[in-house]
A and B are shown apart, each in its own frame.
Chain A
Amino acid sequence: GENVEQHPSTLSVQEGDSAVIKCTYSDSASNYFPWYKQELGKRPQLIIDIRSNVGEKKDQRIAVTLNKTAKHFSLHITETQPEDSAVYFCAAAGNTPLVFGKGTRLSVIA
């Protein structure tokens, strides 16, 4: 089955800097790669997703890139703000339920 690895497990950045979180997946049949943000004590919420026919997708300060050949995808957050502090999860799926990475705790230091 699918296996998703996520790095780093923790990340601290200064406010205004960029943050990058990377994930790799194992199943070449996977074609959907969402990212979820989970604030402390809250539910995970979808922030951006990408499908395998697209290499990059942007939404304001966040972007996701996908390299299907290398089986990895990344989340980029620019101009980080304190409210970006949260745990971020990547996930991958083909025609099966989502498999999640173990999460990255992002801390944005003001």
Chain B
Amino acid sequence: DAGITQSPRHKVTETGTPVTLRCHQTENHRYMYWYRQDPGHGLRLIHYSYGVKDTDKGEVSDGYSVSRSKTEDFLLTLESATSSQTSVYFCAISAETGPYGYTFGSGTRLTVV
């Protein structure tokens, strides 16, 4: 398919535990993004990366951290999961930011109990 995969696809975790979601791309795109999708809120940007070790915050970054040690991998970590972080998380990639279309991964459904 699109050359972007997310893992895991589904996860249930307990409040207070750390969780890491992975996004892997085979397109060699420079930009990678993490969005969360919640009913009534659309897609909101958590963090994004514009190169190896280069990241920046998005609209809803509190409680999340990211790392990008290789071009192909972008990790999202919930440092101490809370119920408000129950959501569907989408990774996206683009060759450049701004006026370029994004390709999304299949999403990770995370439930924090």
Contacts and interface: CB of A to CB of B under 8 A. Distances in A.
A96 B98 CA distance: 5
- Dominant secondary structure at the B interface: loop
Contacts, number: 55
Contacts of B101: 34, 46, 49
A46 B45 contact: no
Interface range, B side: 20 to 34
B99 A44 contact: no
A32 B99 CA distance: 5
A36 B106 CA distance: 14
A93 B107 contact: no
A44 B43 contact: yes
A31 to B, nearest CB: 6
Interface string A84-108: 0000010001111111111100000
Interface of B: 2, 31, 33, 35, 40-45, 48, 58-59, 90, 97-107
Interface of A: 1, 6, 31-32, 34, 42-46, 49, 51, 89, 93-103
Given A46-B103, A94-B98, A96-B98, 20 more contacts: A6-B42, A31-B98, A32-B99, A32-B100, A34-B101, A42-B106, A43-B2, A43-B90, A43-B104, A43-B106, A43-B107, A46-B101, A46-B102, A93-B97, A97-B33, A98-B102, A99-B59, A101-B42, A102-B40, A102-B42
